[in-house]
Amino acid sequence: MNSKSFDYLEHVQEILGKVKETQWEMMDKAAKVMAEAIASKKCIFAFGASHAGILAQELFYRTGGLAVLNPILPSEVMLNTRPVTQTSAAEKLAGYPTMILKYTPIKEGDVLLLHSVSGRNTAAVEMAIKAKEMGVTIIGITNMVYTNGVKSRDNSGKKLFEVCDIVIDNCGDFEDSSMLLEGMNQKIAPTSSVVGCTIVNMLVVRIVEYLLEMGIEPPVFHSANVDGGEEFNEMLFEKYKDQIHYM
């Protein structure tokens, strides 16, 4: 069968190979920071606006995931809001990320994972700046080709990669979409979600490896659909209640 669908699959595989070859050092560094935070009873949060928020949702409350990874999911920039175009306006709104942080139990010594493909909007940039001022370690996932081709929309004039402690490049294309079909001017098939979800799950694996090296039993969920799964997960909620903020 001849279809651009297979070209897309090959392209995603190429990007994942590039991530492996070029981003592992930063990913390993990020995982170590996150593991040390968990071991020190600190908290880990994740945020992204609109489709970037898919990574925060990927990370929390699921089988095989770490119980102590907390999403920040303000409704104004999540995809279930209506009209959905509100998300595009809200992520450019100065002061909004500061308000989000005000109502998030994030503190000095915690870790914040931020995802923004373009890295230009206020939602991620202002949040990174304000959280860093609080003594929070900032890990950013962005698209360096994309972000270097656009200007910041934040009042600081900065982009996400410029205000993070650790930066992971998702190695995607400019504008994120990747396939240009004959007869079209606009590319289709973005790659940031599939590659981003792979990156964050690689981080989880590496975090667990570091926790095991420290002699710490990783707080990993079982499926609630297996016998004993719900009871085990309830035990995790109780044991790590000071590091879990989505219940």
**pLDDT confidence bin for 1, thresholds 50/70/90:** confident
CATH number for the domain spanning 218: value is 3.40.50.10490
Residue 8 lies in a domain: no
Q: Let me know if residue 238 belongs to a domain.
A: no
Residue 92: CB partners within 8 Å, gap ≥ 6?
121, 122, 123, 153
Q: What average pLDDT is seen over the chain?
A: 97
Asked if pLDDT for residue 120 goes beyond 80, the answer is yes
CA neighbor of 37 nearest in space, from 105, 89, 96, 112: 112
Query: What's the pLDDT band for 99 if we cut at 50, 70, 90?
Result: very high
User: Is pLDDT larger for residue 1 or for residue 112?
Assistant: 112
* Residue 10 forms part of a structural domain: no
Helix, strand, coil percentages, rounded to 5, for the chain: 45, 15, 40
The H-or-E segment that residue 137 falls in is: strand 137-142
- Which residue(s) pair with 114 in the sheet? 47, 140
Quote the number of domains for the chain: 1
Looking at the domain assignment, is residue 179 inside a domain?
yes
Answer yes or no: is 242 within a domain.
no
Q: What is the DSSP letter of 62?
A: S
Mean predicted confidence (pLDDT) in 158-170: 98
Residue 18 belongs to a domain: no
> What's the whole-number mean pLDDT along residues 213-222?
98
Neighbours of 26 (CB within 10 A): 16
Q: Which neighbouring-strand residues pair with 169?
A: 142
Q: What's the pLDDT score for residue 139? A: 99
Task: State pTM to two decimals.
Answer: 0.97
Under 8 Å between Cβ of 201 and 30: no
Residue 243 lies in a domain: no
d(CA 207, CA 215): 13
14 is a domain residue: no
The parent domain of residue 87 ranges over 23-233
Instruction: Over range 168-177, report the average pLDDT.
Output: 98
Tens-place pLDDT, residues 75-91: 999 999 999 999 999 99
Cα–Cα distance measured from residue 234 to residue 247, given in angstroms and rounded to the nearest whole number: 11
